[in-house]
C-alpha cells in the first residue's frame, strides 16, 4: 500500500513486453449479425491499453468476449482464439469461474450488489476461497480494509461498512466495484467505459485510481472519451465497424495516426 | 365517463366496508351475549346445537385451520419457490411461456374439483400408502390446499425474481459466480420481500379456502396430534352449519364471530404481505 504509484514513464512498466491477452483472428456473431471481423490484438502486461472507436464498432463486444460474459446472451457464436495468460479462454473446457477470477470486469454503470459494503468486497473472495468460512473475522476485516485502501475509499466508508453499498455516491460505487475485484488478485482488469456515468470530478478521481493500479494489473479500458484515452492509457487501439484499425502507443497514435480512419476519428470528423 | 371510473375505483372500498359492517352486525349480538372469550379461544368443545348447554369453543377449529394451512405451506413453499426459480432464472423461450400458461391454468381449477380429488383419489392413496383407517385428514387437505396455493405463490415469487435488475446477476457472474451461486447469494436476497409476501398470500389463501378443505379434511372436530387426524376448519364450519341455523340465534351469531376472526386474520396477513412488498420493514 505504501509503494508510490508508478509514474507514466516509469521504465519498469513499459519495458515489460509480455502479452497478457492475445486475440487471434477473432470473429463474433450475434445471431446472424457479425459484430467482429478477424480481430488481431495483443494487450501487454502491466500497462493500460485503451480501446476507442465510435458507438457500435465492437469495442465493448471485444472486451466482453475476453471474460466470456457475452455468453450470458445465449445467441453468440465466435471463431478464433483469445488467450489469457497463455490459455485459450474460448475452449469448451475452460472453467468460467476460474477465468473470471483472473479477469475482473468493471462496468459502465456502477453495479455494486444490493448488499453491504463489506459483503460486496468479500463476495468474490468467498466465491473463490474454498475455506472462506473458516477464516476469522479479523482476517476478513483485513481483506476488506486492504481492498478499500487500495481504491482510496477506506477513510470515507470505514465507519459504515455494514451500510448498503447502493447508497454510496456513483463515484464511490465505481471505486467499490473496482475494490471488490482485488482480493482475488486478478491479472487482468477489463473496464467498460468506467467513467461514463460519472461527473468530471468523479471521473478524474476514478482515472487517477486506475492509473495507480497500473503495473500491478493489466488494464484494458473501453472508452468513448478520447481525451481520457489520451491522458490515461499507455497504448491505444482504434476500432471501426468490427475491425481493429490501428494499435499503437497512445502518444504516437494521437500525434501521428497511421490510418486515415484513425485520423478522422480522433480529429472528431465522425463518432 | 370519469364518474363511472371513479365509482369503480371506490367500489372496492365500499364493498369491503359493507362486508365488514354486515359480518360485524350479525356477529355482535352474540359477541356481547353468550360469547365467552376464554371459552372461545381455549375450549375445543364446539357444541352449538346442544339443547341445554351449548358451548362455543373454537380452539379445535382454529387449530384445524392452522394445521391444514401449515401442512399446505410445507407442500407449497418448496414447490412454488422451485417453480418460480426455474421459470424466472433458467427456463427460456417456449418452455418458459408454456410453463407460465400451465401455472395460470392450474390457478383456475375450481376448488370443488380439488376437493373432489382429495375426497376420491387422495383418500384411497393415503389409506393404502400409510395404512391408516381414514384418508381424509390434515395430510390430505394440506396437500390439496398446497397445490391450490402454489400457482399464485409461484406467480408472485416469479414476479419478484424478475424485478431484480439483471445488472446484479451480470455483476455476480462477472466475478465468477455460477448460476446457482448468483441465485442463492444475490437474486434471492434481493427478492426477499416479494418472496415473503408470496408465502404470506399463500397462507392467506389457506386460511380462507373452504370447499376443498371441507371435503378433504374429514370435517370432524379434533385437536390434531398427527397429520393423519381428521380436523375441521373455521371456514368449513361456517359453510356447513350456517344453512341450518335460525337467523339471529346464538349459533348463527357464533358462526359470524368465526367469520370476524377469519376476516381479521386474512386482513392482517394480507396487510403484512403488502407492507413487506413495499419494503416498509426494511430499515
pLDDT at A10: 47
For B214-249, b where at least 16 C-beta lie within 10 A, e where not — what string? bbbbbbebbebeebbbbbbbbbbbbbebeeebeeee
Determine whether the interchain pair A97/B176 forms a contact, defined as Cβ–Cβ distance below 8 Å: yes
Q: Note the pLDDT tens digit of each residue in B188-230.
A: 999 998 999 899 989 998 999 999 999 999 999 989 999 999 9
Q: Is residue A224 part of a domain?
A: yes
The CATH number given to whatever domain includes residue B210 is 1.10.3720.10
Residue A9 above 60 pLDDT?
Answer: no
* Whole-angstrom distance, CA of residue A82 vs CA of residue A80: 7
Within a domain: residue B30?
A: yes
Q: What is the pLDDT of residues B125-141, one digit of tens each?
A: 999 999 999 999 999 99
**Chain B interface disruption, residue of A113, A173, A187, most B CBs within 10 A:** A113
Q: Is residue B228 part of a domain?
A: yes
| C-alpha cell recorded at residue A95 | 472453467
Q: Count H helices and E strands in chain A, helices first.
A: 11, 10
Q: Is residue B282 part of a domain?
A: no
| Residue B283, in any domain of the structure | no
Q: Check A177 against B171: CB less than 8 A apart.
A: yes
Nearest-CA distance A252 → chain B (Å): 33
Whether residue A151 lies inside any domain: the answer is yes
Task: Tell me whether residue A1 is in a domain.
Answer: no
For B157, the enclosing helix (H) or strand (E) is helix B138-162
- Which tens digits make up the pLDDT trace of A19-65? 899 999 999 999 999 999 999 999 999 999 999 998 889 999 999 99
Domain that holds residue A102: 18-266
Q: Residue B61 pLDDT > 50, yes or no?
A: yes
Which residues of chain A neighbour B171 with C-beta distances below 8 Å? 107, 111-113, 177
For all residues of chain A together, what is the average pLDDT?
Answer: 88
pLDDT tens-digit series, residues B92-117: 889 999 999 999 999 899 999 999 99
Closest CA to B190 of B161, B214, B218: B161
Instruction: Give residue A13's pLDDT.
Output: 60
Distance from CA of A182 to the nearest CA of B (A): 11
Does A67 contact B174 at a Cβ distance shorter than 8 Å? Answer: yes
Q: Give the model's pLDDT for residue A178.
A: 93
Alpha-carbon distances, residue A35 vs A60, A148, A239, A269 (angstroms): 10, 37, 11, 23
Residue B98 structural domain: 2-277
Question: Considering only CA atoms, which of A74, A89, A266 is closest in space to residue A190?
Answer: A89
**Looking at residue A138, which CATH number applies to its domain?**
3.40.50.300
The domain total for chain A is 1
How do residues A135-147 score in pLDDT, each as one tens digit?
888 889 999 999 9
* Interface contact flag, B170 A72, Cβ < 8 Å: yes
pLDDT tens digit sequence for B3-37: 888 988 899 899 989 998 998 888 888 888 878 88
> B175 to chain A: which residues are within 8 Å by CB?
100-101, 104, 123-124, 127, 180-181
Taking contacts as CB-CB distances below 8 angstroms, the residues of chain B near A75 are none
When divided into structural domains, chain B yields a total of 1
Q: What's the complex ipTM?
A: 0.87
Residues in A whose CB is inside 8 Å of some CB of B read 67, 69, 72, 74, 96-101, 104-105, 107, 109, 111-115, 123-124, 127-128, 177, 180-181, 184
**Interface probe with B: pick from A66, A69, A102, A127, most Cβ of B within 10 Å:** A127
Percentage of the residues of chain B whose pLDDT score is greater than 70: 98
Contacts of B168 in chain A (CB under 8 A): 111, 113-114
Amino acid at each position: 500500500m505504501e509503494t508510490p504509484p508508478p509514474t507514466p514513464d516509469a521504465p519498469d512498466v513499459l519495458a515489460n513486453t509480455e502479452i497478457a491477452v492475445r486475440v487471434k483472428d477473432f470473429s463474433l456473431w450475434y445471431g446472424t449479425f457479425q459484430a467482429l471481423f478477424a480481430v488481431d490484438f495483443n494487450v501487454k502486461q502491466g500497462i493500460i491499453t485503451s480501446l476507442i472507436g465510435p458507438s457500435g464498432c465492437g469495442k465493448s463486444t471485444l472486451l466482453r468476449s475476453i471474460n466470456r460474459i457475452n455468453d450470458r446472451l445465449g445467441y453468440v457464436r465466435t471463431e478464433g482464439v483469445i488467450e489469457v495468460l497463455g490459455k485459450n479462454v474460448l475452449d469448451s473446457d475452460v472453467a468460467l469461474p476460474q477465468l473470471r477470477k483472473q479477469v475482473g470486469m468493471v462496468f459502465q454503470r456502477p453495479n455494486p450488489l444490493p448488499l453491504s459494503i463489506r459483503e460486496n468486497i468479500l463476495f468474490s473472495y468467498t466465491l473463490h476461497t474454498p475455506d472462506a468460512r473458516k477464516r476469522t473475522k479479523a482476517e476478513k476485516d483485513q481483506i476488506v480494509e486492504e481492498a478499500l485502501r487500495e481504491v482510496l475509499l477506506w477513510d470515507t466508508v470505514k465507519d459504515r461498512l455494514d451500510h448498503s453499498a447502493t447508497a454510496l455516491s456513483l463515484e464511490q460505487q465505481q471505486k467499490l466495484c473496482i475494490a471488490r475485484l482485488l482480493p482475488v488478485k486478478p491479472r487482468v482488469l477489463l473496464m467498460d467505459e468506467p467513467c461514463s456515468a460519472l461527473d468530471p470530478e468523479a471521473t478524474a478521481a476514478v482515472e487517477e485510481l486506475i492509473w495507480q493500479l497500473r503495473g500491478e494489473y493489466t488494464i484494458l479500458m473501453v472508452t468513448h472519451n478520447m481525451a481520457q484515452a489520451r491522458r490515461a492509457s499507455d497504448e491505444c487501439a482504434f476500432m471501426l465497424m468490427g475491425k481493429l484499425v490501428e494499435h499503437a502507443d497512445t502518444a504516437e497514435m494521437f500525434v501521428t495516426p497511421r490510418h486515415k480512419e484513425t485520423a478522422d476519428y480522433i480529429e472528431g470528423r465522425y463518432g | 365517463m370519469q364518474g363511472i371510473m371513479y365509482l369503480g375505483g371506490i367500489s372496492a372500498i365500499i364493498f369491503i366496508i359493507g362486508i365488514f359492517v354486515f359480518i360485524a352486525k350479525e356477529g355482535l349480538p352474540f359477541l356481547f351475549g353468550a360469547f365467552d372469550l376464554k371459552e372461545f379461544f381455549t375450549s375445543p368443545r364446539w357444541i352449538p346445537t346442544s339443547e341445554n348447554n351449548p358451548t362455543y369453543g373454537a380452539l379445535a377449529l382454529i387449530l384445524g385451520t392452522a394445521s391444514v394451512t401449515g401442512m399446505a405451506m410445507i407442500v407449497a413453499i418448496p414447490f412454488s419457490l422451485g417453480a418460480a426459480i426455474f421459470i424466472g432464472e433458467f427456463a427460456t423461450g417456449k418452455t418458459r411461456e408454456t410453463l407460465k400458461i400451465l401455472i395460470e391454468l392450474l390457478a383456475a381449477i375450481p376448488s370443488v374439483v380439488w376437493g373432489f380429488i382429495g375426497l376420491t383419489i387422495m383418500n384411497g392413496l393415503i389409506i393404502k400408502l400409510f395404512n391408516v383407517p381414514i384418508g381424509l385428514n390434515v395430510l390430505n387437505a394440506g396437500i390439496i390446499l398446497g397445490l391450490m396455493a402454489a400457482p399464485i405463490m409461484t406467480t408472485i415469487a416469479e414476479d419478484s425474481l424478475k424485478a431484480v435488475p439483471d445488472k446484479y446477476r451480470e455483476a455476480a457472474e462477472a466475478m465468477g459466480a455460477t448460476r446457482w451461486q448468483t441465485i442463492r447469494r444475490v437474486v434471492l436476497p434481493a427478492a426477499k420481500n416479494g418472496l415473503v409476501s408470496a408465502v404470506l398470500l399463500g397462507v392467506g389463501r389457506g386460511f380462507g379456502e373452504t370447499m376443498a378443505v371441507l371435503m378433504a379434511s374429514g370435517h370432524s372436530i379434533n385437536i390434531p396430534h398427527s397429520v393423519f387426524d381428521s380436523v375441521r376448519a373455521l371456514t368449513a364450519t361456517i359453510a356447513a352449519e350456517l344453512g341450518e341455523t335460525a337467523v339471529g340465534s346464538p349459533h348463527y351469531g357464533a358462526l359470524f364471530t368465526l367469520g370476524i376472526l377469519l376476516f381479521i386474520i386474512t386482513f392482517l396477513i394480507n396487510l403484512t404481505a403488502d407492507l413487506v412488498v413495499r419494503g416498509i420493514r426494511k430499515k
